[in-house]
Structure 1
Amino acid sequence: MLNGLADWWDGVELWLAQAWFPVQFALVMVVLVPLCLLVAWLIDKLVERCARWLGTARDDEGPGGS
Structure 2
Amino acid sequence: MDWLWQWWDGVELWLVQLPVAVQFPVVMIVVLPLCLGVARLIDRVADWGAKNPASRVDDAAPEPEPEPEKVAA
Aligned residue for 1:33?
A: 32
What percent of counterpart residues are identical?
A: 50
Between structure 1 and structure 2, the one with the greater Rg is 2
1:29-66 deviation per Cα after TM superposition (whole angstroms, max 9, x unaligned) = 000000000000000100000000138xxxxxxxxxxx
5+ residue gaps in structure 1?
56-66
Which structure shows the higher helix fraction? 1
5+ residue gaps in structure 2?
58-73
Name whichever of 41-50 and 15-24 sits farther off.
15-24
TM-score (norm 1): 0.65
- The number of residues matched between the two structures is 54
Aligned residue for 2:62?
A: none
- RCO higher in structure (CA 8 A, sep ≥6): 1
After superposing on structure 2, the runs of 4+ consecutive aligned residues of structure 1 that deviate more than 6 Å are none
- Cα-Cα RMSD: 2.5
TM-score (norm 2): 0.59
